[in-house]
Structure formats: C-alpha cells, structure tokens
Chains A and B, each alone.
Chain A
Amino acid sequence: MDLLHNLGLGFSVVFTLGNLAYCFAGVLLGTIVGVLPGVGPVVTIALLLPMTFGLPATTAIIMLAGIYYGAQYGGSTTAILMKLPGEPSSVVTAIDGHAMAQKGQAGVALGIAAIGSFVAGTLAAGFMALFSPALADFALEFGPADNFALMAFGLIGAVVLARGEPLKAIAMVLTGLALGLVGTDVSSSQERLTFGAASLADGLSFVVVSMGLVGVSEIIANLERSEAEQNAQHHIGRLLPNRAELAASWKAILRGTGIGSLFGVLPGAGAALASFTAYSAEKKLAKDPSRFGQGAIEGVAGPESANNAAAQTALVPLLTLGLPSGATTALLLGALTIQGIVPGPQIMNDMPDLFWGVIASMWIGNILLVILNLPLIGLWVRMMRIPYRLLYPAILLFCAIGVYSVANTAADVFLTALFGVLGYVFIKLDCDPAPLLLGFILGPLMEENFRRALIITQGDFHVFVARPISATLLLAALVLLVTLLVPAIRRGREVAFQE
C-alpha cells in the first residue's frame, strides 16, 4: 500500500537520532517560551526561527513543527492557570479551564488538555496522510492564474478572520503586499521602493518584519500596561483525569478533533475559529449548559482538541498548495523559503522525505508533548511567575540577536526597531498585524504568478476568469468580500467576535 509505504518512509526519516533530538528540542523550547507570560505562539515561533536556519531543511521543518505545537500547548497552559490566553485560539480554553483551576482542578484541566491535544493531533496527522496526496495531485494542475487566484482567496480569508474593521484588514493586506515588493525587481533588476537604501536592495527580510511587527510591538504594548497581577494558580492537584471525567470528555475530544481538522484546512480559518466552534458545539449539546463557564471539563477538552487538530491540518494547505492560513503558518512558509524550498504540490513528489517526515514527526511530537508536560508542569508554573521586568529585556535581546544572525548585518536590527514602532502604532489604531504578515509573505509569489499568467496570455486579463479553477476561487473570494462588507452580516460578525 502506498500510504503505508509513505508512512514508513516518514518514520524512517524521524527515527534518526538527530531528527528525534531536534523534534524534542523544538517541543521543549516551544513550550518553555510559550508558557512565558505575554509571549504568544506567533512571537514564540518568530523568536525561535533563527535557531533552525543552519539545519538541513527536513530537520529544520521538523523542529519548527515541534516549536509550533509546543508553543500552542504552552499557550493553553497560561490560559488555564492564569486566564491569560496567549492567542485567540486559547481564549475559550481560559473560560472553563481557569474556572476549573480556581476549583482546585488545575491539574485535571491541564491533563485533559494534553490528552485531548494528543488524541486530536494523532487523528489529524492521520487525516493529513490520507487526504494530502489527493489535494496535491489536484493542485499540480494549477497554472499561474490559478495560483494567483488561490492566494487572493487566502488573503481575503485572512481578512475575514482579522480583528476589527474589515476595510482596515484589507488595507493591511495591501500594505503587506507592497512591503513584499521592496527590493530588486527580478525581471528588470531595477530597485523598487528601496528609497536609495543599499540594505533594502535584497528586499525586506521576513524575520525583520515579523520580529518587529509582532515581537517588539507586543513588548512596547505590554510595557504600557501596568504590570499585571501574577495570579498563577499554585495548587495543581492530580493531573490524570479519573474515569468519570474521561467519560464526560471523550466525545468532546472526538467532536473537537473533527471540527478542528475541518477548520484547519480552510484558508484563513485556522485554530481560533475551530476552538470557538467546538466550544459552542459542546455548550449546545450539553444537558446542562449552565455548567459552562463554571468549570465544565468538556469546555476544555473540546476546544483544546479542536485547536490542536486545526494547528496540524493547517499544514495541509501550506505543504500541498503553498498557502498559509494564518500568521503562524505564514512564518513557517517564510522559514521554508529561507531553506530554499518553494512550498507547493511538487513537494510531495520531489521531497517525499520532507513531507512524510513532517507527518510522522507530528505523532512523535504529540507523544513528546504529553511525556514532557505532565511531569514538568511544576517547572512551567514557576516560569509563569517570572516578572515581566526580567522577561522583556530577554525577549528583546533574542529578537535582536535573532535578526542579526540571519544576515549578520546591523541594518536589519535597525529596521526591526522601525517595524516595532510601526507595529505599536498599528496596535494603537486597532489594526491586526496578521493580514499584513500574510500579504508580505505571499506578495512576491503572487506577483510572480500574476506576471507569468499575463505573459502567457500576452496581457489578456480574461485568463483569470476563463480558467475554471481560477474563476471559482476568485468568485469565492469576491463572495466572501461582499458578505464581509454588507452591513447586516457585519453586525453578526461583530457579535461573534465579542463572544
């Protein structure tokens, strides 16, 4: 069987000492940085990215995937213990998870989150193995026009999910696309938008943009608030759920896995929407919905399974179509590009060891996550109590040296400072940076496909509506855009965001 053969290949890639060690290091580092207060998964990945640049491509992406779900799990830990969700996808976990912690059941909440994440991760990796090849085969038929349409659709998807006014999110996408154009134009070798700065001739490094916009700006914004009270729960209690608790949550875990796996693949949807949907599904299905908010274990099990499943299936469009579905996967795409890999359907044929190695590493990573988290929880709790005044100089330092190490130039550090200030202004103006990041990373790819499509047709724009795939995707993007701007639906979206 093909699938078994492929999985065998994947496991043979992971089960080398080096790759196992980097997978472990990724999960460990991701969790350590992820549990630090005020450091969400996006920042965690941005901070740890430079550490993977020197590694071979497959090892680097295995480690990054480990960092990715380690950070995600770290975020859930702070959500449960401190009611400080590091990212939108653990906002709902904070509700019932923290309520459980206040009742002295912090350990059980963490335990069920780990078990749910493990089950979800394992099943989601299975879905990926089953469905990715078909999707990649389909995507191999994409021409430049189709690729362009696909990315446009992905960008609109990001707008739908961005916080705040949709028009502003669209403007952020355009700003990101423009930043992606900075540098030397490939076909004319003429410099564009560099304003004469020699350091911009090679374009803006995505490490600079992401560290500045999400890392440095977050620090500035956090410092502005007075140091929050550290109300981490000290009492953890037993970690393993008992039989009654497992009986109450196993269905929620499976439902969460299903919801998460589905939402993860949708461009722009991602983990946040998955965990919200799983939470409201559990609440609707419960015999006594009033328990929710008071520490219902299904309210932790469902969303936690959903966001982990979604975090993993989000890699499907990334690895098969080259389409990131959110800020985190956009960072992974940037990392792949730095490794010299163009993500897309050809990965599965050209680099089967990379693709299947990543899938297999997910199983391993999820096992490591459980092994690591349950015994080390005491350490995480202590790390959470590190005061921010000691933490932010360290984060800033890692930003600085991380950015410097990419190209060994101080100019990149100065640019990071600039993007930090810009990012802070965006935060103050309620402009979500995620769409900008996505636009920035997709910009050069979109331009290339746009140009190629028009070279083939000698400047005839009809190609974008004449090809069925491209036409369908653009129509879908247009429908999304219109619904977003129609006042009635807009109000519904605002309500949904407030919940």
Chain B
Amino acid sequence: MSFRSLPAVLAQLRQKDFLAGLLFLVIGAVIALEGAGLAQGSASRMGPGYLPLRLGVMLASLGFVIALQGLRGAADPLQRLAPAPLLAATLALVGFGLAIEYAGLIVATALLVAAARLINWRGRVFELVLLVLVLAAIVVAVFRYGLGVPVELWPSLGD
C-alpha cells in the first residue's frame, strides 16, 4: 500500500480480512494473557496455563498476519451490521432467560416471541397473539410434558 489517498487508506481499514485479523488478534491476546496468569508447569507436567498461553500466542500471531494481508489485499469492506435484527434476537433471548426462572415458561415464550417480532411487527396484533398461543402450546407439550424439563409454567405466586 504505497501511496494512497487518505480516504482510500481509511476504506482499507474496513476491509473484512483486516478486521477479522484484528478480532483474532484481540481474542488471542486475551487468551494468552489469561494463560500467562496461571501456573505454566513443564511439557511433562503441564500446568493449567501451559496450553492457553501457547494457543493464545499462536492465534494472536495468526491474527496479525491475516490483518496485514487484509491491509494489502483487494478492497472488500465489511458491510454495515444490521442493528435491528441483532438487537431483536439478543433482546428475545435475554428476555426469555430472565423470565424463565421467575415468571415461568409461558410468560417467557410470550416475551421471546414479542421481542423477536419487534422488528417486523407491522401492527398485526392478532397474528402475534395467535403465534404466541400456538408456540406456547407446542413448547409446553413437548418440553414440559414430553421431555419433562423441570420448569414452572406460570409465575410462582406467594414464595
């Protein structure tokens, strides 16, 4: 990348391989640091940190090489992440996780479906209610009664 204009250089910083390399570099560095903090031992008596440190260093170095290649490679910029689906899916799962232990399976199901449908909701109340009812019935039948997962169906009142 000899003499490129500033915008071209900036564009190259969004190159997929460059960013992927950076990601691996960071993950590798974190693993290596964690591993370095644990007992190392020797090859014949490995401590808990022996492999994490080495694996982390390998991953970080590989990430560095990938990032370098990305800087020199053809422009292939990362497309914008879609915030709405990302948020909806995360919210749905987190809501389910929070609700399942305190409010029971049915409320958790309703929360998950509602949160998931936030992004293409289109004002269809009836469809949403029906979807929740059908899915709740399936999940209760399959997981609670069929597989015997120990989970409350409704919020436990009183205690």
Contact = CB atoms under 8 A, between A and B. Distances in A.
A210 to B, nearest CB: 15
A401 B149 contact: yes
A399 B34 CA distance: 31
A401 B140 CA distance: 10
Given A170-B62, A174-B28, A181 B51 contact: yes
B71 to A, nearest CB: 14
B98 A216 contact: no
Interface in A192-246: 192-193, 195, 216, 219-220, 223-224
A425 B4 CA distance: 28
Contact of B20 (A408, A424, A429): A429
B13 interface: no
B30 to A, nearest CB: 9
Contacts of B119: 223
A224 B85 CA distance: 7
Nearest to B140: A401
B93 A414 contact: yes
Contact of B116 (A396, A401, A455): A396
A424 to B, nearest CB: 6
A440 interface: no
Which A-B residue pairs are the 7 nearest by beta carbons? A459-B44, A413-B97, A459-B43, A223-B85, A185-B48, A417-B93, A410-B97
Contacts of B35: 192-193
- The residue in A181, A397, A428 that gathers the most chain B C-beta atoms within 10 A of its C-beta is A397
B44 A455 contact: yes
Contacts of B82: 220, 223-224
Nearest to A414: B97
Interface size bracket, A side:
35 or more
A410 B66 contact: no
Interface string B12-38: 000011011101100110010011001
8 contacts: A165-B17, A178-B27, A192-B34, A219-B85, A224-B85, A396-B89, A397-B112, A425-B23
A56 to B, nearest CB: 14
- The residue in A170, A175, A178, A410 that gathers the most chain B C-beta atoms within 10 A of its C-beta is A178
B35 to A, nearest CB: 7
Given A171-B66, A178-B56, A393-B131, A424 B94 contact: no
Interface in B68-87: 69, 78-79, 81-82, 84-86
Contacts of A429: 16, 19-20, 23, 78
Interface string A383-398: 0000001101110111
A394 B116 CA distance: 10
